[in-house]
Structure 1
Amino acid sequence: MSEERRLDVLRAIVEDYVRTREPVGSRILTERHQLGVSPATVRNDMAALEEAGLIAQPHTSAGRIPTDKGYRLFVDQLAEVRPLSVPQRRAIETFLSQAVDLDDVVARAGRLIAQLTGQVAVVQYPSLRRSGLRHLELVPTAEGRLLVVVITDTGRVEQRFLDVPVDLDDGTLGELRARLNAATAGRRLADIGDAFAGVAEAMAPEHRPLATAVAEVVTAALGEESEERIVLTGQANLARSSMRFEQGLRPVLEALEEQVVLLGLLTDMTDDAGVAVSIGHENRLAGLAETSVVTSGYGSSDGDTVAILSSIGPTRMDYPGTIAAVRAVARYLSRVLPS
């Protein structure tokens, strides 16, 4: 029973500190929470929590605040995900469904997370390497030039130019277009090589080099590392007085500027089972040592994860609310992606 009570005390300390941003004392705990024990018992429980490294006393004669270890226990064992209200869920769905294209979807998702959490939002564009092919279009644009348009099942559109024989006729181009789409529709990058090879074999010998060239252009477009893009929204939220980073705001902003490293961190965190949380010094970016990162993958309508989205704020964040917001936006984002 004492162990369960100490977890209740820890939960109360976390909730009060997140709400008030002030160290929490035993008297305040007994006044605000129905713990069912005396202040003396609460003090004993707080001493045990401090000895276990779950809370700390920032100053002499001050109350206690949670440590990274304490927040971790709170998230793992105590935090109940607070469901969003019906108006919030309806607003998310309506706002995302009104997007006109993929860029708009990503931008709207970032604004939603930043507004719901009051923190920084990070949204990755759907990865071409993890997307499926919906359609390939081959458009002759000038003498000896062909525009290859790659459209993915997540709405990404990539365009590449290709030099082609000047005597290429519409019939051959139409045949190649039809064969490529029939063979590759819905396939991922890892699966399209054999499909392309089969298309080239089916073409007349004189047209096989063209089929191979188109295949190489598409494969290169889907395999580029440079297409791993993210959108950051809500950085201004970090300047609010309620954030109060001990080491100042600059290390956090510098870490956010390291977008390639940041994306690697978020990708490593992503858990196919749901929302993942990295707290304080668990983050391998030194500048994020005073922050917590809440991350979820999102995907296409077939359930595959194609990108990630996150909320980044101080370790003193509203974990249940942030987890609920990130989870809800990821789910709705998956639903409104082109299918």
Structure 2
Amino acid sequence: MELTQRQRIIFKKVVEQFTYCAEPVGSKALMQLLDFPISSATIRNEMAVLEKAGLLEKTHTSSGRVPSRFGYRYYVENLMETSLEDPIKHSLQALFSQRHYSLDEVVEKSCSILSEMTNLTSIVLGPDSRHQVLVHVQLVPIDAKSAVALIITDTGHTETKVFHFDEDVSMEDLRSCTELMNDQLTGTPIDHVIDRLKEIEPLMAAKLVRHEVLFEAFAQTFMRFASEKVAVAGRCHMLYQPEFSDVNKLQRLMKILEDSDLFKQWTEQENNIAIPVGERNELIQIGDCSVISAKFHYSDSEEGQLMVIGPNRMQYSKVIALMDYMSSVIEGVFGLHEGGEKSDEQTEKES
């Protein structure tokens, strides 16, 4: 059904008002919100048409209407206008430009910011390194008790880790350890490196004076590298959403958010409805919940995801605009233009 301009305006106002107040919207309230003269009776007639079209629903507790799941989809695909205020853009740029961040820090920081700015639950997934292959290891000494380890994979992913040792480690040990790692571990899939590292521990013991210290440092680093990079923030925000006043429903959702496997199953159910929003974002409707995701690139071939979870009644225009801009800012942290291409400046730094 093709809506008239008046019906589109009325429907958009219903969605936006219900988003803010979580109360069914009636004709008298709409009269105050519309910027053109219209009678309450005419509004009721138009809302009846919108209800017949499946865009609005009438609740049992009020004469007002609320958007249906289909109505939210129609709003996102046809009526939503996204924009982000300049002060918010400047704040995000400032937060991420203060210093160089590692991937883990970016995942944690962006997750926290998203949750705080949307008052919803956020999840950020970093690139999955488990199926990459180790190409090179380099140890750069800082002083007698610390060194920087550089781990490079076949995708060009570089993991940087600062080792702080409890005992002095000689330059000779660092050099020998680097040679041994590259000789024995190059070509090993990241998720198999720990097993391979255990196999070569006797070689490390034979060649290195401080082999226990170096073995432990690398074991912890590879374990973290091979694990899925996930951050979750703002679970408590669900407590304040009227849609989750049912304790059993809330408990089920909390359990899903605490288990990455359960969350993946939840978002990939066959009856979910996925709606592309532009080139970067996607809206997934799961019952009375919505998940908005936005992709960001960490390197030319690796990508992560920002996600915000909340009720279907969420401020889609604000959330999507925020996530889209934050994705661009994150890519800027790693020297990438939109679309995952490295800037000339970043390429020059790496060459």
| SS across alignment from 2:115 | helix
Letter in structure 2 aligned against 1:316 = R
Aligned partner of 2:197 in structure 1 is none
What TM-score results when the alignment is normalised by the length of structure 2? 0.67
| SS across alignment from 2:187 | helix
Bigger mean CA deviation after superposition, 250-259 or 106-115: 250-259
Deviation track 1:255-297 (CA, whole Å, cap 9, x = no partner) reads: 2123124246669969692111112xxx2xxxxx222111011
Aligned partner of 2:203 in structure 1 is none
Aligned positions, number: 281
Does structure 2 retain, via aligned residues, the 8 Å contact 1:256–1:262?
Answer: yes
Show the 5 A alignment for 1:1-339.
3-82=4-83, 84-97=84-97, 98=99, 100-128=101-129, 135-137=136-138, 150-151=151-152, 153=156, 155-156=158-159, 210=183, 214-216=186-188, 220-221=192-193, 227-240=227-240, 242-245=241-244, 247-248=246-247, 249-263=250-264, 273-279=279-285, 283=286, 289-300=287-298, 302=300, 304-337=301-334
1:218–1:318 distance in 2 versus 1, CA, 3 Å: closer
1:122 offset after TM fit, Å? 0.4
Deviation track 1:62-95 (CA, whole Å, cap 9, x = no partner) reads: 211111111110011000112x222211211221
State how far apart, in whole Å, the 2-side matches of 1:312 and 1:221 are: 35
1:10–1:320 distance in 2 versus 1, CA, 3 Å: same
Aligned partner of 1:145 in structure 2 is none
Does structure 1 retain, via aligned residues, the 8 Å contact 2:130–2:191?
Answer: no
State how far apart, in whole Å, the 1-side matches of 2:228 and 2:322 are: 24
State how far apart, in whole Å, the 2-side matches of 1:307 and 1:265 are: 19
Bigger mean CA deviation after superposition, 2-11 or 117-126: 2-11
Does structure 2 retain, via aligned residues, the 8 Å contact 1:124–1:229?
Answer: yes
Bigger mean CA deviation after superposition, 58-67 or 110-119: 58-67
State how far apart, in whole Å, the 2-side matches of 1:314 and 1:19 are: 12
State how far apart, in whole Å, the 1-side matches of 2:136 and 2:188 are: 16
State how far apart, in whole Å, the 1-side matches of 2:132 and 2:334 are: 12
Letter in structure 2 aligned against 1:245 = F
Gaps of 5+ in 1: 140-147, 160-169, 181-209, 284-288
Letter in structure 1 aligned against 2:17 = D
Provide the aligned C-alpha RMSD in A. 3.9
Deviation track 1:77-124 (CA, whole Å, cap 9, x = no partner) reads: 000112x22221121122123354322211110111011111111011
Letter in structure 1 aligned against 2:235 = Q
| SS across alignment from 1:309 | strand
State how far apart, in whole Å, the 1-side matches of 2:10 and 2:135 are: 53
State how far apart, in whole Å, the 1-side matches of 2:10 and 2:302 are: 38
Deviation track 1:226-266 (CA, whole Å, cap 9, x = no partner) reads: 632311011121122x4442544222212212312424666
Does structure 2 retain, via aligned residues, the 8 Å contact 1:102–1:155?
Answer: no
Deviation track 1:180-236 (CA, whole Å, cap 9, x = no partner) reads: 8xxxxxxxxxxxxxxxxxxxxxxxxxxxxx56x5313558459x9963231101112
Letter in structure 2 aligned against 1:214 = T
Deviation track 1:126-182 (CA, whole Å, cap 9, x = no partner) reads: 22268798853379xxxxxxxx962355553599xxxxxxxxxx99998999xx8xx
1:318 offset after TM fit, Å? 0.5
What TM-score results when the alignment is normalised by the length of structure 1? 0.69
State how far apart, in whole Å, the 1-side matches of 2:45 and 2:100 are: 55
1:20–1:136 distance in 2 versus 1, CA, 3 Å: same
Does structure 2 retain, via aligned residues, the 8 Å contact 1:135–1:150?
Answer: yes
1:313–1:88 distance in 2 versus 1, CA, 3 Å: same
Does structure 1 retain, via aligned residues, the 8 Å contact 2:190–2:226?
Answer: no
State how far apart, in whole Å, the 2-side matches of 1:56 and 1:337 are: 46
Letter in structure 2 aligned against 1:216 = T
Does structure 1 retain, via aligned residues, the 8 Å contact 2:107–2:229?
Answer: no
Does structure 2 retain, via aligned residues, the 8 Å contact 1:266–1:295?
Answer: no
